[in-house]
């Protein structure tokens, strides 16, 4: 069985999807549709913008969603998932590619999610940090001991966890984690504290948008970030997408779930190769690949 997985924020790069746009009439039509949904032509930033231009949350998230979903569409009959999953933002790409929401609706949700997250980031000085070489339980314990808001946000793979919260609390957690033996605890250049309680205003805004969006049963199960379990139930998927904004991304657990369902091949759909590398951390012998443009077209 093949699992198709979709990357999250951070996978963007200058020129992304320009080759896809040039090679595929389907992609060009979707970009036209995206301009209608977004109210601006995101092609200009994706194809010609700098790394800094692409880093803005309200650009990054729609750009990665577009790149990922278009790749899945261009794959056509080669898109044969037994299960899909996505890292954070990628969960929206996975759901859309699997037919759980219409393309325009998925993009509109991603755009609202991005705007809401950017507003929440502006309200409170906050950040994230990568912690390497430490057991998850130890990171959880130390975060719980630090004054202020700092929580585990992304369980990326064994020995790699991202924490999130108020700037001072994250910096103090990094100091304590380093003293406790972490190989590295490094504050990241991000817009704010994603997947933490500080995203509560964004969660409320997204909940309103999701409540008015039509969801259908996807063509295969979707593994949720929040629970690391597979579901095809539209109501469960709605709840999970809302909860995801303030809950940690349990990607390590999601990978184990995907493999436990019988996946023998992992195909990453979207920019970058980060998720393939994370799966290799779990199972070195696993077959991983990328839905690259030459095979798609």
Greatest extent of the chain over all pairs of C-alpha atoms, in Å:
55
Q: At a CB cut-off of 8 Å and minimum separation 6, what does 109 contact?
A: 92, 101, 206, 209, 210, 213, 241
Whether 176 and 146 have beta carbons less than 8 Å apart is answered as yes
Please tell me which residue in 164, 195, 224, 254 is annotated as part of the active site.
195
Helix (H) / strand (E) element for 185: namely strand 184-187
- CA 76-27-50 angle, 5° bins: 130
Whether 266 and 275 have beta carbons less than 8 Å apart is answered as yes
21 is catalytic: no
The DSSP 8-state label assigned to residue 156 in this structure reads E
Whether 101 and 281 have beta carbons less than 8 Å apart is answered as no
Residue with tokens 């012998």: 285
Terminal C-alpha separation, the chain: 22
196 is catalytic: no
Residue with tokens 């970009």: 31
CA distances from 42 to 15, 34, 110, 129 (A): 12, 8, 14, 29
Q: At a CB cut-off of 8 Å and minimum separation 6, what does 204 contact?
A: none
Strand-pairing partners, residue 154, are: 162, 249
Please tell me which residue in 88, 93, 224, 254 is annotated as part of the active site.
88
Helix (H) / strand (E) element for 288: namely strand 287-290
User: Which residue numbers are catalytic?
Assistant: 88, 195
């Amino acid at each position: 069985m093949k699992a198709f997985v979709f990357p999250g924020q951070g996978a963007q790069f200058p020129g992304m999807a320009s080759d896809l746009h040039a090679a595929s009439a389907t992609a060009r039509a979707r970009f036209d549709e995206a301009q209608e949904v977004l109210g601006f032509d995101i092609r200009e930033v994706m194809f010609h913008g700098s790394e800094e231009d692409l880093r803005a949350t309200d650009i990054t998230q729609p750009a990665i969603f577009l790149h990922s979903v278009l790749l899945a569409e261009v794959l056509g009959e080669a898109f044969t998932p037994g299960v899909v999953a996505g890292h954070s933002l990628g969960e929206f790409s996975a759901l859309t590619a699997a037919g759980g929401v219409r393309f325009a609706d998925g993009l509109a949700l991603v755009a609202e999610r991005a705007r809401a997250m950017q507003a929440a980031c502006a309200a409170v000085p906050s950040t994230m940090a990568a912690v390497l070489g430490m057991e998850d339980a130890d990171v959880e314990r130390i975060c719980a001991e630090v004054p202020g808001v700092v929580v585990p946000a992304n369980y990326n793979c064994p020995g790699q966890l991202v924490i999130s919260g108020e700037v001072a609390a994250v910096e103090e957690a990094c100091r304590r984690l380093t003293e406790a033996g972490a190989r590295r605890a490094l504050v990241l250049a991000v817009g704010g504290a994603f997947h933490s309680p500080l995203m509560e205003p964004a969660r409320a805004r997204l909940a309103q948008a999701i409540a008015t969006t039509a969801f259908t049963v996807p063509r295969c199960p979707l593994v949720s970030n929040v629970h690391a379990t597979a579901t095809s139930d539209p109501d469960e998927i709605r709840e999970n997408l809302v909860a995801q904004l303030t809950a940690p991304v349990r990607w390590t657990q999601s990978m184990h779930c995907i493999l436990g369902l019988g996946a023998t091949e992992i195909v990453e759909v979207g920019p970058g190769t980060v998720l393939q590398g994370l799966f290799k951390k779990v199972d070195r012998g696993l077959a991983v690949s990328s839905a690259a443009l030459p095979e798609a077209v």
